[in-house]
Structure 1
Amino acid sequence: MAKIAYILLCHKDPTAVIRQAERLTAVGDYMAIHFDASANKQDFQEIKKALASNPNVTLVRKRVRCGWGEWSLVQATLNALAAALAAFPRATHFYMLSGDCMAIKSAEYTHRFLDNDDADFIESNDFFESNWIRTGWKEERLIYRHWFNERTQKKRFYAMFEAQKKLGLTRDIPADLQIKIGSQWWCLRRRTIESLMNFIAKRRDVKRFFATTWIPDETFFQTLVSHLVPQDEIRARTLTFLMFTDYGMPVTFYNDHYDLLLSQDYLFARKISSEAHDLTRRLGLLYAAEGVQFQISNEGRNLFDFLTGRGRIGRRFATRFWETESTLGRERELLIVICKKWHVAKRVLERIRQVTNVPAIEYLFNEEDTPLPDLGGIQSSLEKRTRHRRALMRMLFDYFETDRLIVCMDPSNLDLLNDFASDRSTTRMLEIECQFSDDYLTGHAMRVGLAGDQTSDDTLDRLLPTIRNDMVHESDAIRDADFHNMSRLRETATEDQNAEAIGSFLSISRDKATEITRTDHLFAD
């Protein structure tokens, strides 16, 4: 059975450290604590005194002063690992934690999870090929030497970098290593840790190399584990649930996140607010609990993106300067069908094609696989289509050799609707208003990743009103835009009313419009 030695690096809040150590060792697991050498000495003494009688806790004697982005964080981890290896010979796994982490599964579940998969859990993305580093330095982290802390010695840090760059003082990466990068929150097996410690004892050149790289805690363990362990024994993921805002700051969890955290496919979560006393209490009791069943839905990140995104109303992509004065053409007519239920819009679109023979394209700005002709690559991705929407639409008019074209759009595409409505061409819109049952909203939440098969009824009860209100908000925003040439096809309207709306939208006779509205199961889910 798995027995975990938790590796805890901390520098403050001795009370929280003591409680965390007591909780995680109460069921037979272990903990090695490295308390920052630059932290308050009295805090360290408080921890030492409180945990002195706990045989499952060891305090790292060889403490170092840690700084963000420095080798010192790796060295502190290595010191803690050495202490844990010596103190806990029965430990099968070593799990990296911070003082802001808490278990979101029981020890019973955690041990069973590790027993069922004999592997190392560590993010290990290719340093150069992956998009893990989104902004800032990349190879500069490695090929130049970094002796100073970027946050506390900024002038020296950048002065040394510029001097090396000017003089061309770059260095080679150790030839036998493929540099990997990922989160520092990993869980490794004992034999992996032992192999790693033996490797760096023999390969001092590797340790020297990483000791002067920048932010080595994101590359050192990730690279060496991939070098030492067969790839089929590595799960390139972390078992600690953490999210970041658009500004690169960690998302903090509060009291009302308890159910969400338990439903994620992770063992721990970071960061738990120091003010979330009820969350801390409930998670603290959870680790020692027995017989707890967890419904894993894993929708946390999608929910976060959805809920934070609701507050951002604006244009996702600015118009390029060379497109500012572009137009689809004064003589052209763009017909836009707007509907949240895509299957309903596609059904209407297919019937319009049959009755009018006007070229029609489905959700080209929402679905990557919408059938489109080869237009030289501009159609290859949703991002390109959206960024160059007017150019794309001009090319589609030319391709079909027509002055009338119908497209489908989601109500959330308000920026696109505004852009096309402001064009010199004639733009007509048809909004299809549908009824949204709870069953439909549940299915929608699952399709877009806001919920899963295991999402609890309680979570859905809280989520569905938010989704419904979001859809209402999108429709209201379209109404507030007060577009010209706007028609509405309503599920609750009569056949005559809908025929009038279709006729106005397509500029066709009443008979042809009625032929479209009489389509069987037009609004069916």
Structure 2
Amino acid sequence: MAKIAYILLCHKDPEAIIQQAEQLTAAGDFMSIHFDASAKSESFAMIRDALEDNPNVTFAHKRIKCGWGEWSLVQATLYAIEAAIADFPRATHFYMLSGDCMAVKTAEYAHQFLDDNETDFIESFDFFESDWIKIGMKEERLIYRHFFNERTHKSLFYWAIELQKRLGFKRRIPGDVQVQIGSQWWCLRRRTIESILDFIRSRKDVIRFFRTTWIPDETFFQTLVRHLVPENEIDTRTLTFLMFTDYGMPVTFHNDHYDLLLSQDFLFARKISPDAKTLKARLGKLYSSRGIDFQISNEGRSLYKFLATQGRAGRRFGMRFWETESSLGRERELMIVVCKKWHVAKRLTDQIRQETEIPAIDFIFDEDNTALPDLGGIQSSLAKRARHRRSLMRMLFEYFESDRLIVCMDPSNLDLMHDFFSDRSMTRLLRIECDFTDDYLIGHARRIGLAGDRTSQLTLERLLPTIRNDINHEADRIRDAGFSRHFRIRQSDSTETNATKLVEFLSLPYETALKLAQTRQLFDD
């Protein structure tokens, strides 16, 4: 009879991790946990204390800090695998999980399913020939070395790629390895895992190669399994049910999805909403149950696709995700920086990024070329960003894994400000008041097409009062809107006065706010 060792990578919610471990080991299976070293030490202590008497739970012998898209995710997985191999000699299969996954079948069903299928379950498709990567970088993931994280050091990440391109530092893929790609959620037999561990001990060149690829958790195990296991023993699918929206974001499951999930031909599902308490309770009891007959219809993806394309509320399981999750989230803080002189706001946000860990996006609704992560297409045009503004904001919060986010806006975007202030999230607004000289306004008129290089001085003099009045009118509209948590810094005020306002807006220590207010040439044109 199959015995499963679950390989769990997690970084938050210790209570949920403890519950997940207890539920999955209650039926005689095992779990090896890697808890991210960047998480709070007291959270890890809570998990260890709660599970130390459970003989079916072990921990990775070394904890490391993990970053999305980095080798650290693979290394953490290997540490957890090594602990499981050593501590659970009876484990026949190793199943990759995250804290967002839950079983949608019983242990009885899962064990029988694995006994009936002498196969490794892992998505493993040719990296170059398949269309698994829909958008974004492809070949560049492999042929260039990646030393920086795209999420935390975006400028350095792309600078390093461009530098390697210019210098011709393109590298070769190990000649006897055909790179594969697929989902990181796999279930592998014990002998396959042992073969992988033997391989990496003897092939340091392959490890060196994957260490500096981008998003290796989608290529490393997928490539090695294909290299080590006969094709007829690989089933190129994951046993974890997951779906993606039209915008490339994972679909989140809620309380009314219980029957839908149980009817899918999968053993687990992700992502389960943290707020789906009823669903979590029902699925938690399910795994150790016996004698349940599952009616597999497997219509989940096709049903979701059909309902999502109707543009209306679905009758089978809820509404489109931007309707069911229209709020940014009560626990989140959206901070809007409003300034007519975009370069002033950008100087401030650049300094914020240097002095704090708060992610900041420049004029996302105003500049088409604003640097944004790939969010599945929703960010591809100004029209889409404005139309799906709340969805876009939620994706950015999730992308940066932060509950705080700063965005810059032009003062003309009053409707966007009203929309975000009507949300249940905590929204703040910082208005930067600048002085406008005649020379600046003339340049502004030329930039927006109101004037050209040959426009006469007389015409410009007639335009200036109109432009100045328009700018003042936009400021008056924002003041008259009566937004709560509305702060203002001014070019004419002292840095100390502006620092006090930044303390309130950003909830930062005064010393940090003073550094921001003292940004070099902040208000210069």
Structure 2: gaps of 5 or more residues = 314-525
Secondary structure in structure 1 of the residue aligned to 2:58: strand
Q: What corresponds to 1:166 in structure 2?
A: 166
Give the deviation of 1:59 after TM superposition. 1.3
Amino acid at match of 2:49: K
Tell me which residue corresponds to 1:422.
none
2:124 matches 1:130 = no
Which one-letter code corresponds to 1:122 in the other structure? I
> Counterparts of 1:222 and 1:125 in 2: how far apart (Å)?
8
* Partner of residue 197, structure 2: 197
Alignment match, 2:3:
3
Deviations 1:76-111 (A, max 9, x none): 000000000001000000000000000000000000
d(CA) in 1 for partners of 2:4, 2:254: 27
Determine helix, strand or coil for the equivalent of 1:44.
helix
- 1:312 offset after TM fit, Å? 7.6
Distance 1:298 1:12 in 2: 31
- Output the amino acid matched with 2:69: G
Q: What's the RMSD between the two structures over aligned residues?
A: 1.0
- Matches of 1:162 and 1:298 in 2, distance apart? 45
Which letter does structure 2 place at the counterpart of 1:171?
R
Structure 2 CA distance, aligned partners of 1:62 and 1:254? 34
**Residue 249 in 1 paired to residue 253 in 2?**
no
Note the C-alpha offset of 1:270: 0.3
In the alignment, structure 1 residue 176 sits paired with structure 2 residue 176: yes
1:147 match: 147
Residues 483-518 of structure 1: CA deviation (Å, up to 9, x unaligned): xxxxxxxxxxxxxxxxxxxxxxxxxxxxxxxxxxxx
Partner of 1:119: 119
User: Counterpart of 1:410?
Assistant: none
Q: Within 5 Å, which residues of 2 pair with 1:247-286?
A: 247-286=247-286
Aligned equivalent of 1:232: 232
How far is the alpha carbon of 1:153 from its aligned partner? 1.1
Amino acid aligned to 2:131:
N
Structure 2 distance, partners of 1:61, 1:200, is 18
The letter of the residue matching 2:110 is T
How does the TM-score come out when normalised to structure 1? 0.59
Local SS of the residue matching 1:290: coil
2:241 alignment partner AA: F
Written as runs of structure 1 = structure 2, the 5 A alignment for 1:373-452 is: none
* Superimposed CA distance per residue, residues 266-304 of structure 1 (whole angstroms, 9 cap, x where no aligned partner): 000000001001100100110000000000000000010
Unaligned residue ranges in structure 1 (runs of 5+): 314-525
Residues in 2 aligned to 1:218 and 1:199: alpha-carbon distance in whole angstroms: 18
1: CA distance, partners of 2:266 / 2:211? 31
| Pairwise CA distance, 1:183 | 0.2
Q: Provide the aligned length of Structure 1 versus Structure 2.
A: 313
Where 1:95 maps in the other structure, the secondary structure is: strand
What amino acid is the match of 2:296? I
What's the secondary structure of 1:5's corresponding residue?
strand
Alignment-mate amino acid for residue 309 of structure 2: G
Runs of 4+ in 1 over 6 A off after TM superposition: none
| Amino acid paired to 2:223 | T
What displacement does 1:224 show?
A: 0.3
Q: Quote how far apart the aligned CAs of 1:10 are.
A: 0.2
Match of 1:21 in 2: 21
Report the Cα distance in structure 2 between the residues aligned to 1:298 and 1:129, rounded to whole angstroms. Answer: 28
Q: Which residue of 2 aligns with 1:208?
A: 208
The amino acid of 1:29's aligned partner reads D
What is the alpha-carbon distance in structure 2 between the residues aligned to residue 278 and residue 24 of structure 1?
Answer: 18
The DSSP-based 3-state class of the residue aligned with 2:163 is helix
CA displacement 1:89-138 (0-9 Å, x = unmatched): 00000000000000000000000000001110000011111110000111
1:45 lines up with 2:45 in the alignment: yes
Larger radius of gyration: 1
How many Å apart are 1:61 and its aligned residue?
2.7
What SS does the aligned partner of 2:6 have? strand
Counterpart secondary structure, 2:136: coil
Distance 1:13 1:180, change over 3 A: same
Task: Give matches, 1:291-370, under 5 Å.
Answer: 291-311=291-311
Q: Distance in 1 between matches of 2:50 and 2:243?
A: 33
Match of 2:57 in 1: 57
Mapped partners of 2:127, 2:244: distance in 1? 20
1:69 equivalenced with 2:69 (yes/no)? yes
- In 2, Cα distance between equivalents of 1:123 and 1:277: 31
For residues 3 and 203 of structure 2, the distance between their equivalents in structure 1, rounded to whole angstroms, comes to: 29
Aligned to 1:35: 35
Question: How high is the sequence identity, in percent, across the aligned residues?
Answer: 71
Does the C-alpha gap of structure 1 residues 59 and 147 become closer, same or farther in structure 2, counting only changes over 3 Å? same
Given residue 225 of structure 1, which amino acid in structure 2 is its aligned partner? V
* Helix, strand or coil at the partner of 1:108: helix
The amino acid across from 2:58 in the alignment is: T
SS in 2 for 1:278: helix
Provide the secondary structure at the position in 1 that maps to 2:34.
Answer: strand
Distance of 1:78 and 1:153 partners within structure 2: 26
Letter in 2 for 1:73: L
Matches within 5 A, 1:501-512: none
Secondary structure of the 1:199 match is helix
1:156 Cα deviation from its structure 2 partner: 1.3
1:155 to partner: Cα distance: 1.5
1:153 corresponds to which letter in structure 2? H
Q: Which residue identity lines up with residue 230 of structure 1 in the other structure?
A: P
Instruction: Give the distance between the partners of 1:178 and 1:209, measured in 2 at CA.
Output: 13
Q: Aligned partner of 2:2: which letter?
A: A
Q: What does residue 96 of structure 1 align with? A: 96
* Counterpart residue number, 1:351: none
Q: Does the residue aligned with 2:253 lie in a helix, a strand or coil?
A: coil
Tell me the distance in 1 between the aligned counterparts of 2:79 and 2:246: 34
Match of 2:397 in 1: none
Distance (Å, rounded) in 2 between the aligned partners of 1:16 and 1:77:
20
Secondary structure of 2:266's aligned partner: coil
- Say which SS state the counterpart of residue 185 (structure 1) adopts: coil
- Alignment partners' CA distance in 1, 2:222 and 2:167: 31
Shift of 1:74: 0.2
- Report the Cα offset of residue 60 of structure 1: 1.3
Deviation readout 1:434-476 (Å, 9 max, x if unpaired): xxxxxxxxxxxxxxxxxxxxxxxxxxxxxxxxxxxxxxxxxxx
Per-residue displacement from partner, 1:341-374 (whole Å, max 9, x unpaired)? xxxxxxxxxxxxxxxxxxxxxxxxxxxxxxxxxx
Aligned to 2:108: 108
Any idea what the Cα deviations from partners look like across 1:196-254, whole Å, max 9, x if unmatched? 00000000000000000000000000000000000000000000000011111100000
Letter in 2 for 1:217: D
Equivalent-residue separation in structure 2 for 1:136 and 1:285 (angstroms)? 40
Separation in 2, partners of 1:131, 1:149: 24
Taking the aligned partners of 1:13 and 1:307, their CA distance within structure 2 comes to: 32
| Counterpart residue identity of residue 51, structure 1 | L
